[in-house]
Amino acid sequence: MGAPLFTVLDVEKTYRVGTTPGSSWFSAGQPRLLKALNGVRLEIAEGDSIALVGESGSGKSTLVRLMLGLEPATDGRLLYRQVDIGQFDRAARQTFRREVAFIYQDARGSMNPRMRIRAILAEPLRLYRLCPEPEIERRVLSLLEKVGLSADLADRYPSELSGGQVRRVAVARALAAEPKTIVADESVAGLDVSVQAQLLNLLRGLCREMGLTLIFITHDLGVASYLCTRIAVLYLGRIVEEGATADILHRPMHPYTQGLMRAFPSFGRPLTASLKGEIPSPIDLPAGCRFASRCPQAVPFCLTSDPVLKHPEDPDPNGARRVACHFPIRDILER
């Protein structure tokens, strides 16, 4: 395992979302608080490839926004190379921006619509003075080539590209800064399977070739397992299971992970709605286990006692598994 890169220590993120209506004049107007992240603890080492997996609203994007220093945490600490992200001085912030590239969930929206692709790719090269001015054109074209796009796209605007092409430009722009880490938020979601496969192969190849650390957000376990050696499963603002990809897929120990895997389409097996019930509101979190309302094996104890994320008693051979469940599943999943 490489040196620690990101350390997330008991991070909380609470948003104020309006005020309560209230039944009388003195109970009205209390702030309503939404817990987007509720005690997240995670360590990412240099060279890791980790997928953050979970249903919509589980807090994946919020977690990376905090890790990138785009928003402050309400509580807890986030460290990059052992230094608190909130306490960076100017030089440290600049190094961080250069070393950690972010591919936004909305790739098209993250680009200036009035800039041509050439200018979009040249911007980080100039900003970080990565090459002399006469060399910029050549570097831009080589970035386009690297992501499998033809040179004539350089003259177009983002609105003149297809969804898959825009995502490739977003990858090229991330690579332009010669980062050490790529953080990608749903970078292949919504693309047709062949374009998705091309992009995944591209990212996987780049990470292996350049030894990049990859933090990849997805709600698709298949995508996660293809790209990443580790998976962290989020549910309602908390990591409920984390471990090596092969171990998690072979033997999910949290009922939520198992439900996610069963919900994942596979040939030769009928698709069932394995995750039943409603996700509780992050504004009004239950007192016990947050998954209890949907858990097929919940017992009364689960409704009152909140399980912590810890190594299960019966650990995986490499000992890296953590599960937040009072009764982790011991069976091996037959798929």
Ligand X SMILES: Nc1ncnc2c1ncn2[C@@H]1O[C@H](COP(=O)(O)OP(=O)(O)OP(=O)(O)O)[C@@H](O)[C@H]1O
The item of Mg ion, ligand X, none sharing an interface with residue 158, based on CB under 5 to 8 Å by kind, is: none
Query: What is the DSSP annotation of 55-104?
Result: STTSSHHHHHHHHTTSS--SEEEEEETTEEGGG--HHHHHHHHHHEEEE-
Residue 112 CA to residue 173 CA, distance in Å, equals 12
Site for ligand X (CB under 6 A): which residue of 7, 58, 213, 245? Answer: 58
Site for ligand X (CB under 6 A): which residue of 33, 34, 115, 197? Answer: 34
Q: 252: Cβ–Cβ under 8 A, 6 or more apart, which residues?
A: 241, 258, 260, 261, 329, 333
Q: 4: Cβ–Cβ under 8 A, 6 or more apart, which residues?
A: 43, 44, 45, 46, 79, 81, 82
Which one, 49 or 62, has the nearer CB to ligand X? 62
Q: Tell me whether strands 4-19 and 31-45 are parallel, antiparallel or unpaired.
A: antiparallel
Residue 116 CA to residue 169 CA, distance in Å, equals 11
Which one, 51 or 172, has the nearer CB to ligand X? 51
The item of ligand X, Mg ion, none sharing an interface with residue 282, based on CB under 5 to 8 Å by kind, is: ligand X
Of 81, 42, 85, 96, the C-alpha closest to 217 is 42
36 touches ligand X by CB under 6 A: yes
Site for ligand X (CB under 6 A): which residue of 8, 60, 149, 325? Answer: 60
Please state the closest distance from residue 242 (CB atom) to ligand X, in A: 16
Which one, 63 or 206, has the nearer CB to ligand X? 63
57 touches ligand X by CB under 6 A: yes
Residue 2 CA to residue 180 CA, distance in Å, equals 13
39 touches ligand X by CB under 6 A: no
Residue 23 CA to residue 30 CA, distance in Å, equals 11
Please state the closest distance from residue 112 (CB atom) to Mg ion, in A: 22
The item of ligand X, Mg ion, none sharing an interface with residue 24, based on CB under 5 to 8 Å by kind, is: none
282 touches ligand X by CB under 6 A: yes
Neighbours of 74 (CB within 10 A): 16
Which one, 144 or 221, has the nearer CB to ligand X? 221
Site for ligand X (CB under 6 A): which residue of 40, 44, 48, 59? Answer: 59
Neighbours of 208 (CB within 10 A): 11
Q: In what order do the strands lie in the sheet with 4-19?
A: 31-45, 4-19, 75-80, 83-84
CA dihedral 120, 168, 44, 261 (to 10 degrees): 150
The item of Mg ion, ligand X, none sharing an interface with residue 17, based on CB under 5 to 8 Å by kind, is: ligand X
* Contacts (CB under 6 A) with ligand X, residues 129-188: none
110 touches ligand X by CB under 6 A: no
Task: Give residue number: closest CB to Mg ion.
Answer: 61
219 touches ligand X by CB under 6 A: yes
Please state the closest distance from residue 219 (CB atom) to Mg ion, in A: 9
- Binding footprint of ligand X on the chain (CB under 6 A): 15, 17, 34, 36, 54, 56-62, 219, 282
